[in-house]
């Protein structure tokens, strides 16, 4: 079993990858630098040793200081899963797109853009996917407040319904 | 290899199509179109009868599922998972309770595991019956649809007896089940298995081997295995392309490793491997495998308290994230849950199988006839509740 942190560090000495482990041991994830992200993923995709041939899922998480994007790669031949994390913490909130390597990233990246406002550089068709094109704001951000009007229609009836409801 | 470098082969029937060089026309299929199985709009760029580009537009059924979940405790999220894939609500419950149990470190008993497997497989049959029936409808065969719904009704009766609901069950809960099986339910379930198995031959005679139907679906919308993997397709769609991959076998959960069943793959019996007929037929054969699993799961079912492991509250959640996937009738559903230690999930992301399967449609639809697009979309078996969330 290859330790992917060491593998990445060997190939990209200045990338400083690190494992993040929280509650569960088999759920640790590899934190990669934003600037080199697409080159490292290219290596993980095309290198004979790695060959992660499928991108399973991309999820965004608003960690308040930064937006974290989680990639789940999968190698069918070895039944091995790798969880990557990358942070969009600069002003532009930009992450290199990996659509060219994994066509399945196309819609997932559009969804992250739609929900979190993270822009994927070099994505062929960077527009909203679930929300209407003229919607204001990115709903899954923690500081999102539902707009009162959409195209002149009143869409929020009461003030207390516009933010997440506290539950006792 | 990136998909645009792959040379996607077309079916033999397309040699006959004369490439027109007239002006291109844009057509909207949907959002209110019977063959989109919900509210989906596909923007078609056509040249005569040939589709050059099909661009799905989603979001007509977007209900902010993930945002709603952030404001609810873990146990109250469960009824919302029913509404994701309303054709296979049990599988959605199953897919949600497993990651939460993994995060909390709950080990459920053998009886709970077995009952959950039986429910998931029954719902798989019910969902495949809808897929098969409506696919016949898309191809112009009305009668098989009625036969399928007749048999699905028996499964719904069984579900009604355990949960009280006929479409949305919320039967499983974190750490156990809502209620134990009622008196005599196991006997009725086995009775259904005996009744149902011979019916599969009926569907085959009526639809699967029907000359008109095979001509209509074979060699249409061929999805090669490389493209299927690249687009993130899972479930019957991936298996129809010849990739032997089933989470129940390859990454077993909830005791699936104990049961003996086959993973069905597409063989291209009527045309090419990975064509629409294969996708249809994989579902038909999977129903027989599900019946096998149900019989085995019910055979050694122990008497146990099904509510022993249900947590009292969700105040002491471990901090961390968890990703867990399970096999639903449409493919692999993955729940990515981030917990910050409070009773509500900090973030809950659904990796929806139909969403990823649908993203392969532009590849399959390229240079096909408009009439075949209905066949291709039907063979993907999408549920828009899950695509749009």
What tens digit of pLDDT does each residue of A4-53 get? 788 877 877 787 878 887 777 778 888 888 888 888 888 888 887 778 88
CA B6 to chain A, closest CA, distance in angstroms equals 12
Closest chain B CA to residue A72:
B323
Cα distances (Å, whole numbers) of residue A129 to A95, B61, B249, B389: 18, 12, 34, 12
Q: Is B64 among the domain residues?
A: no
Same domain assignment for residues B53 and B76: no
Shortest Cα distance, chain A CAs vs residue B5, angstroms: 10
Nearest CA in chain A to B243: A76
Same domain, B214 and B148: yes
Query: In which band, very low, low, confident or very high, does the pLDDT at B12 lie, cut at 50, 70 and 90?
Result: very low
Q: Do B344 and A106 touch (CB under 8 A)?
A: no
B35/B107 same-domain check: no
B65 assigned to some structural domain: no
What is the pLDDT of chain B when averaged over all its residues?
85
Q: In sequence order, what are the beta bridge partners of B324?
A: B335
Q: Which domain holds residue B31?
A: 3-57
Mean pLDDT for the stretch of residues A83-96 = 81
Question: Which pLDDT does position B2 carry in this prediction?
Answer: 46
Better-predicted residue by pLDDT, B140 or B196: B196
Are B347 and B263 in the same domain?
A: yes
Q: Within a domain: residue B62? A: no
Task: Look at residue B8 in the predicted model and tell me its pLDDT.
Answer: 44
All structural domains of chain A with their residue ranges: 4-161
Specify the range with the lowest mean pLDDT, choosing from A83-97, B105-119, B136-150: A83-97
Query: Which chain A positions have a beta carbon within 8 Å of B366's beta carbon?
Result: none
Q: Are B292 and B261 in contact (CB under 8 A)?
A: yes
Work out the minimum CA distance from A60 to partner chain B, whole angstroms.
8
What's the pLDDT score for residue B22? 66
Shortest distance between the Cα of A10 and any Cα of chain B, in A, equals 24
Q: Residues B43, B169: one domain?
A: no
Do B243 and A76 count as a contact with CB atoms less than 8 A apart? yes
The conformation of residue B16, written as its DSSP 8-state character, comes to G
Q: Is there a single domain that holds both residue B44 and residue B77?
A: no
The answer to whether residues B23 and B151 belong to one domain is no
Residue B204 and residue B263 in one domain? yes
How many CB atoms sit inside 10 A of residue A167's CB? 10
Query: Does B325 reside within a domain?
Result: yes
What are the tens digits of pLDDT across the range B207-254? 888 888 888 888 888 888 888 888 888 989 999 988 888 888 888 888
Question: Which residue of chain A comes nearest to B355, CA vs CA?
Answer: A107
N residues, chain A: 168
Residue A54 — pLDDT band, cuts 50, 70, 90? confident
C-alpha–C-alpha distance, residues B348 and B206, integer Å: 43
Q: What Rg do the C-alpha atoms of chain A give, in angstroms?
A: 18
Testing the interface with B: which of A47, A98, A103 to mutate, by most B Cβ within 10 A?
A: A103
| pLDDT for res B10 | 39
Residues in B closer than 8 angstroms to A130, CB to CB, are 58-59, 62, 388-389
pLDDT beyond 60 at A160: no
Same domain, B204 and B232: yes
Helix residue spans in chain B (DSSP H): 65-70, 74-82, 89-104, 110-139, 143-163, 185-203, 211-217, 225-230, 236-240, 247-250, 276-299, 353-358, 361-365, 370-380, 384-388
Q: What is the ipTM of this complex?
A: 0.86
Q: Which residue from B minimizes the CA distance to A77?
A: B245
Rounded to an integer, what distance in angstroms lies between the CA atom of residue A106 and that of residue A153?
Answer: 32
Q: pLDDT tens, B145-188? A: 899 999 999 999 999 999 888 888 889 888 888 888 888 899 99
SS3 for B260? coil
Question: Would the pLDDT of B317 be above 50?
Answer: yes
Minimal-distance CA residue of chain A relative to B102: A24
Q: Say if CB A73 and CB A54 are below 8 A apart.
A: yes
Are B169 and B49 in the same domain? Answer: no
8 Å CB contact between B153 and B163: no
Contact state of B351 with A106 under an 8 Å Cβ cutoff: no
Give the Cα separation of A30 and A81 in Å (integer): 11
CB of A93 closer than 8 Å to CB of A109: no
Measuring CA to CA, which residue among B288, B290, B328, B124 is closest to residue B208? B288
The class of domain A4-161 in CATH terms is: alpha beta
- Chain A residue numbers touching B318 (CB-CB < 8 A): 22-24
Residue A161 above 50 pLDDT?
yes
Question: Is the CB of A27 less than 8 angstroms away from the CB of B320?
Answer: yes
- The model's pTM is 0.86
| Interface A-B: count of C-beta contacts within 8 A | 106
Both B40 and B80 in a single domain?
no
- Cβ pair A54:B319 closer than 8 A: no
Nearest Cα to A58, choosing from A76, A44, A72, A47?
A72
* Mean pLDDT of chain A, nearest integer: 82
Task: Determine, for residues B72 and A167 on separate chains, whether the beta-carbon distance falls below 8 Å.
Answer: yes
B211 inside domain? yes
Residue range B324-335: average pLDDT? 90
The CATH number given to whatever domain includes residue B246 is: 1.10.645.10
- pLDDT > 70? residue B11: no
Q: Cβ of A62 and B347 within 8 Å?
A: yes
Residues of A in contact with B3 (CB under 8 A): 103
Q: Which residues of A touch B69 (CB under 8 A)?
A: none
Q: Using CB atoms, pick whichever of B243, B245, B320 lies closest to residue A22.
A: B320
CA atoms within 13 A on the CB side of B314: 23
Nearest chain A Cα to B65, which residue?
A: A140
- What pLDDT, on a 0 to 100 scale, did the predictor assign at position B125? 93
Q: What is the largest CA-CA distance in chain A?
A: 58
Measure in Å the smallest separation between the Cα of B27 and chain A Cα atoms.
19
**What is the total count of domains within chain B?**
2
Distance (Å) from the C-alpha of residue B384 to the closest C-alpha of chain A?
12
Look at residue A124 and tell me whether its pLDDT is greater than 80.
yes
**Which percentage of chain B shows pLDDT scores above 70?**
94
Chain A residues in contact with B64 by the CB 8 A cut-off are: 139
Tell me: pLDDT of A79 over 60: yes
- Report yes or no on B307 lying in a domain: yes
- pLDDT at position B266 over 60: yes
Q: Is B308 part of a structural domain of the chain?
A: yes
**Chain-chain contact of A27 with B71 (C-beta, under 8 angstroms):** no
Distance CA B384, CA B168 (A): 16
Contact A57 B66 (CB under 8 A): no
Query: Do strands A94-96 and A119-121 pair parallel, antiparallel, or not at all (unpaired)?
Result: parallel
A106, B355 Cβ separation under 8 angstroms = no
Residues of A with CB under 8 A from a CB of B: 22-24, 27, 29, 53-57, 59-62, 70, 72, 76, 79, 83, 100-104, 106-107, 115, 128-132, 139-140, 164-167
């Amino acid at each position: 079993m290859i330790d992917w942190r060491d593998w990445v560090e060997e190939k990209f000495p200045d990338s400083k990858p690190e494992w993040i482990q929280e509650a569960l041991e088999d759920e640790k994830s590899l934190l990669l630098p934003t600037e080199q992200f697409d080159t490292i993923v290219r290596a993980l995709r095309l290198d004979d040793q790695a060959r992660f041939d499928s991108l399973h899922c991309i999820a965004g998480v608003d960690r308040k200081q930064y937006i974290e994007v989680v990639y789940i790669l999968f190698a069918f031949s070895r039944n091995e899963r790798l969880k990557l994390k990358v942070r969009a913490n600069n002003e532009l909130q930009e992450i290199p797109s990996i659509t060219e390597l994994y066509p399945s990233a196309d819609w997932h990246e559009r969804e992250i853009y739609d929900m979190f406002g993270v822009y994927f550089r070099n994505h062929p068709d960077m527009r909203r996917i679930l929300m209407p094109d003229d919607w204001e704001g990115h709903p899954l951000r923690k500081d999102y407040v539902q707009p009162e009007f959409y195209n002149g229609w009143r869409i929020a009836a009461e003030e207390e319904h516009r933010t997440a409801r506290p539950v006792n | 290899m990136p998909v645009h470098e792959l040379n996607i082969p077309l079916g033999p029937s397309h040699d006959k199509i004369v490439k027109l060089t007239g002006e291109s026309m844009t057509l909207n299929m949907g959002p209110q179109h019977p063959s989109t199985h919900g509210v989906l709009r596909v923007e078609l760029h056509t040249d005569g009868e040939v589709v050059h580009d099909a661009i799905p537009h989603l979001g007509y059924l977007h209900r902010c599922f993930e945002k709603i979940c952030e404001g609810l405790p873990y146990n109250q999220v469960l009824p919302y998972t029913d509404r994701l894939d309303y054709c296979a609500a049990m599988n959605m419950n199953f897919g949600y309770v497993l990651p939460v149990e993994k995060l909390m470190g709950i080990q459920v008993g053998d009886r709970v595991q077995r009952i959950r497997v039986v429910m998931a497989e029954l719902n798989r049959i019910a969902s495949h019956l809808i897929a098969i029936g409506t696919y016949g409808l898309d191809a112009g065969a009305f009668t098989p649809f009625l036969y399928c719904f007749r048999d699905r009704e028996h499964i719904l009766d069984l579900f009604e007896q355990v949960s009280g609901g006929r479409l949305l069950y919320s039967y499983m809960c974190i750490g156990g089940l809502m209620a134990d099986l009622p008196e005599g339910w196991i006997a009725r379930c086995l009775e259904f298995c005996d009744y149902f198995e011979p019916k599969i031959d009926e569907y085959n005679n009526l639809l699967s081997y029907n000359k008109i139907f095979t001509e209509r679906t074979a060699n249409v919308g061929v999805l090669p295995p490389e493209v299927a993997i690249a687009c993130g397709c899972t479930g019957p769609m991936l298996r129809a392309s010849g990739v032997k991959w089933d989470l129940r076998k390859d990454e077993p959960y909830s005791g699936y490793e104990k049961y003996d069943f086959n993973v069905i793959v597409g063989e291209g019996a009527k045309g090419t491997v990975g064509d629409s007929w294969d996708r249809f037929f994989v579902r038909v054969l999977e129903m027989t495998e599900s019946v096998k699993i149900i019989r085995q799961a019910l055979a050694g079912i122990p008497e146990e308290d099904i509510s022993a492991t249900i947590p009292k509250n969700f105040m002491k959640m471990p901090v961390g994230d968890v990703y867990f996937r399970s096999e639903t009738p449409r493919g692999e559903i993955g729940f990515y849950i981030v917990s910050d230690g409070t009773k509500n999930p900090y973030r809950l992301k659904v990796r929806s199988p139909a969403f990823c399967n649908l993203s392969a449609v532009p590849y399959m639809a390229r240079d096909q006839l408009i009439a075949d697009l209905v066949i291709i979309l039907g063979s993907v078996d999408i549920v828009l509740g899950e695509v749009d969330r």
